[in-house]
Copies of this chain bind each other. A is one copy, B any other.
Amino acid sequence: MAKDITSRSQDYSQWYIDIVLKTGLADYSAVKGCMIIKPYGFAIWELMHDALDKMFKDTGHVNAYFPLFIPKSFLSKEAAHIEGFAKECAVVTHYRLKNADDGSGVIVDPEAKLEEELIVRPTSETIIWDAYRGWIQSYRDLPLLINQWANVVRWEMRTRLFLRTAEFLWQEGHTAHATRQEAEAETLTMLNIYERFAVEWMSLPVLKGVKTENERFAGAVDTYCIEALMQDGKALQAGTSHFLGQNFAKAFEVQFSTKDNTLEYVWATSWGVSTRLMGALVMAHSDDDGLVLPPKLAPTQVVIVPIPKLLPELDEAIGKLEKELKGLGIRVKVDKDDQNRPGFKFAEYEKLGIPVRIAIGARDLAAGTIEVARRDTKEKTNIPLDGIANYIDNLLGEIQRNLYNRALIFREENTTSVDTWQEFVDVIEHKGGFVSAHWDGSTETELLIKEETKATIRCIPMSNSSEPGNCIRTGKPSKQRVLFAVAY
């Protein structure tokens, strides 16, 4: 166990915070609720960004950038939308400061009051659909498949690094379509991209499903999501894809002329993932020694540590190995520091979650082998130098898969099917994890269960088979099981 990281069994929340702070992923800032993403954390986010961005572009999407500010009146145009976002927004009311007359310092200039307040975007449907009105006239202008990478602000009272911050970074896709069918297909296409990203890049198994009315995005007809399970048995919503119907087109009067020359409202989707994924990544795989990163998202995938330090006789062999690994596209670092001892370095690289550590000394070199340590299993093996680069390349793939499998087994072990209220309460309270249970379909019951147990319906899984039963809370008839959990 790393000495500066609290163990999970002792205090899971503190363990998470320790990892985030002490591996340099993020830091608190002077502004309440706003975090600083530090270079190591940002390097991981850049890898996420690049992978997602490529997946978006490969499916025909393009990037654009819309204003940070939204006129207050815009938020009100879609009735459900304002209900969802008014409570937690940063409001710009003035555009100038001035020196106080009494010399006490700088104050807001009361003369510089905006006619209409501006809201720092909590999400951009309104400002984007206002623009789309000017861009869409005919079916020939459709579909519009636009994404933006941006910062957004939601004034959260209780914040937690990466998981819930006042400002966060995200991407938000906003697409416009001529038909309902096409928009629905887009919603699912993006959901599948999020699932693929979670599985292939984050080694994170996720469940795809649809949200209940109560958990739906403010302004959506249907909200789809991917839900993941963290090591403390809590669920985390890792991405959402919304079918917005014609709600925003109607609110912003966006109509198009069809091939038959009739006017129709445009169909919409929106979808997003955020820096919250960084929190999911940390919590899904890390351990009491620090971060554990899936190789595809590790800024450094392999670190080479000379033992005891970079002596001249090692230099050539290490340089050759470095070059071979880079030739395979592997992100490798050679530790050239000669101040710290190998043991200290090993602990540091473990804490940083670097997937593979290679230790190489003069004696190893003579024997023609080097020591390879995996971060995920902590196994150390002596491997022949001959063919080592390909071995490492394969090993990175194996670690990527192993992390996924480990998380999948954990999720399976922590998904419980229950049929009685007593069982439900017991599992939520003591075991945690996902609980599959019948529910009568009413928001009233959903809220009652939340109040009594803190568990919410994470989703109605898309893999569900219809299965008649009785609601665990009310006993009323139910058509299918839904997935409950206490969530982040």
Binding site for B on A (CB under 8 A): 27, 29-31, 34-39, 41-43, 45-46, 62-76, 82, 86-99, 105-106, 108, 117-120, 127, 130-131, 134-135, 146, 150-151, 153, 155, 167, 169
Chain B residues positioned under 8 Å from A130 (CB to CB): 29-30
CB distance from A71 to the nearest CB of B (A): 6
A36 to B131, Cβ gap below 8 A? yes
Q: How far is the CA of A87 from the CA of B135 in the complex (A)?
A: 35
A39 to B67, Cβ gap below 8 A? no
Chain B residues positioned under 8 Å from A37 (CB to CB): 64-65
B106 to A29, Cβ gap below 8 A? no
CB distance from A59 to the nearest CB of B (A): 15
Q: How far is the CA of A88 from the CA of B98 in the complex (A)?
A: 10
A27 to B131, Cβ gap below 8 A? yes
B96 to A118, Cβ gap below 8 A? no
B89 to A91, Cβ gap below 8 A? no
CB distance from A2 to the nearest CB of B (A): 20
B131 to A70, Cβ gap below 8 A? no
A35 to B76, Cβ gap below 8 A? no
A90 to B63, Cβ gap below 8 A? no
Given A69-B31, A151-B151, A82–B106 Cβ distance below 8 Å? yes
B67 to A38, Cβ gap below 8 A? no
Which of B74, B86, B92 contacts A96, CB < 8 Å? B86
Q: Nearest residue in B to A98 (C-beta to C-beta)?
A: B86
Beyond A69-B167, A151-B151: 18 further Cβ-contacts under 8 Å? A27-B135, A29-B66, A29-B67, A30-B74, A30-B130, A31-B67, A31-B70, A31-B71, A36-B66, A67-B167, A68-B167, A86-B96, A86-B97, A86-B98, A90-B94, A91-B93, A91-B94, A91-B95
Q: Nearest residue in B to A61 (C-beta to C-beta)?
A: B39
B89 to A97, Cβ gap below 8 A? yes
Q: How far is the CA of A135 from the CA of B27 in the complex (A)?
A: 10
B67 to A35, Cβ gap below 8 A? yes
B97 to A108, Cβ gap below 8 A? no
Q: Nearest residue in B to A70 (C-beta to C-beta)?
A: B31
Q: Nearest residue in B to A135 (C-beta to C-beta)?
A: B27
Q: How far is the CA of A38 from the CA of B68 in the complex (A)?
A: 15
B30 to A71, Cβ gap below 8 A? yes
Q: How far is the CA of A461 from the CA of B74 in the complex (A)?
A: 48
Chain B residues positioned under 8 Å from A36 (CB to CB): 64-67, 131
Q: Nearest residue in B to A106 (C-beta to C-beta)?
A: B76
B134 to A27, Cβ gap below 8 A? yes
Chain B residues positioned under 8 Å from A73 (CB to CB): 105
B63 to A92, Cβ gap below 8 A? no
Q: How far is the CA of A131 from the CA of B98 in the complex (A)?
A: 26
A93 to B108, Cβ gap below 8 A? yes
A94 to B97, Cβ gap below 8 A? no
Chain B residues positioned under 8 Å from A155 (CB to CB): 95-96
Q: Nearest residue in B to A65 (C-beta to C-beta)?
A: B37
Which of B86, B88, B169 contacts A65, CB < 8 Å? B169
Chain B residues positioned under 8 Å from A42 (CB to CB): 62-65
Q: How far is the CA of A86 from the CA of B38 in the complex (A)?
A: 28
Chain B residues positioned under 8 Å from A105 (CB to CB): 73, 76
Q: List 22 A-B contacts (CB under 8 A).
A: A27-B134, A29-B130, A30-B71, A31-B69, A34-B68, A36-B65, A37-B64, A39-B64, A41-B64, A42-B64, A67-B167, A68-B151, A72-B108, A75-B106, A82-B106, A86-B99, A86-B106, A87-B97, A90-B92, A92-B92, A93-B94, A97-B119
Q: How far is the CA of A318 from the CA of B288 in the complex (A)?
A: 58
CB distance from A80 to the nearest CB of B (A): 13
A34 to B92, Cβ gap below 8 A? no
Q: How far is the CA of A276 from the CA of B488 in the complex (A)?
A: 41
CB distance from A305 to the nearest CB of B (A): 19
Q: How far is the CA of A27 from the CA of B66 in the complex (A)?
A: 10
Q: How far is the CA of A169 from the CA of B127 in the complex (A)?
A: 18
CB distance from A215 to the nearest CB of B (A): 22
CB distance from A140 to the nearest CB of B (A): 9
B92 to A88, Cβ gap below 8 A? no
A88 to B95, Cβ gap below 8 A? yes
Chain B residues positioned under 8 Å from A75 (CB to CB): 97, 106
